[in-house]
């Protein structure tokens, strides 16, 4: 399958509050720079493995800003000179990434896992943002969780992670308490970024979600929509490891 290409809907994304790699300096752009720097340092540490370059962005419940964070992190990493980023739509029951970015949907992650003959690299969309590529979720399937728990998933994700040594892979997963695929993907990544909405996520839900994602032993919290003071930072006011 030849490489797929697409143009990102820059104007629509900017209007919706997303950061562009070639955009101006804004408060939210700086917030994501702070977060990505810690993630990149961990992913490229001297003892890092290909798994450490795979990151899962999750949340406990819907509407906590998970996809907003995943896309903004991907766009921020795309501004780097030494890295490229692959944004994977792993919300396999309700995929939104291609439509959000203005890209044409098509075969993707689940199709490559289900059919070993399908080259996952051929499913990747190379965008006109030079260092940003997107892997759609692919076909919606009733057996998605079982497929993600299969050895085929390990093979496909290993291929994604090792194809390019400067590739950072970001998975936008379904909410952990709303769908089971997130817990399966957590077994394959080096780090989970758990988005916590300050005015929505409860402690009980957060603890339950962290327990479900314990297949990864490095889970970080990213606090979203925290109003600390009038005119102060609202996004990313806390980023740190689960204690």
The string of pLDDT tens digits covering residues 4-38 is: 999 999 999 999 999 998 888 888 899 999 999 99
The contacts of residue 49 (CB under 8 Å, 6+ apart) are 190
How far is residue 62's CA from residue 47's CA, in Å, rounded to a whole number? 35
Q: What percent of the chain has pLDDT over 90?
A: 79
What phi and psi, each to the nearest 5 degrees, are found at residue 82? -110, 5
Is the pTM above the cut of 0.85?
yes
pLDDT at 237: 39
Q: Is the pLDDT of residue 201 over 90?
A: no
The string of pLDDT tens digits covering residues 63-98 is: 999 999 999 999 999 999 999 999 999 999 999 999
- Residue range 204-221: average pLDDT? 95
How far is residue 207's CA from residue 72's CA, in Å, rounded to a whole number? 25
């Amino acid at each position: 399958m030849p490489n797929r290409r697409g143009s990102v809907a820059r104007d629509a994304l900017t209007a919706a509050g997303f950061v562009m790699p070639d955009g101006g300096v804004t408060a939210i752009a700086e917030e994501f720079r702070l977060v990505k720097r810690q993630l990149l340092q961990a992913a490229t540490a001297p003892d890092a493995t290909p798994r450490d370059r795979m990151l899962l962005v999750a949340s406990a419940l819907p509407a906590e800003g998970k996809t907003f964070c995943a896309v903004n992190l991907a766009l921020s990493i795309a501004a780097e000179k030494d890295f490229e980023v692959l944004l994977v739509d792993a919300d396999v029951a309700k995929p939104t990434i291609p439509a959000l970015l203005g890209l044409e949907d098509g075969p993707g992650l689940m199709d490559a896992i289900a059919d070993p003959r399908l080259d996952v690299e051929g499913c990747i969309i190379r965008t006109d943002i030079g260092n940003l590529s997107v892997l759609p979720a692919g076909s919606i399937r009733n057996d998605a969780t079982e497929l993600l728990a299969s050895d085929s998933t390990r093979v496909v994700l290993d291929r994604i992670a090792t194809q390019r040594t400067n590739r950072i892979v970001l998975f936008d997963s379904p909410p952990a308490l709303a769908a089971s695929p997130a817990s399966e993907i957590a077994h394959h990544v080096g780090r989970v970024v758990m988005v916590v909405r300050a005015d929505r996520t409860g402690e009980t839900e957060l603890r339950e979600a962290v327990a479900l994602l314990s297949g990864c032993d490095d889970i970080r919290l990213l606090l979203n929509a925290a109003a600390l003071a009038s005119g102060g930072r609202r996004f990313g006011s806390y980023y740190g490891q689960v204690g």
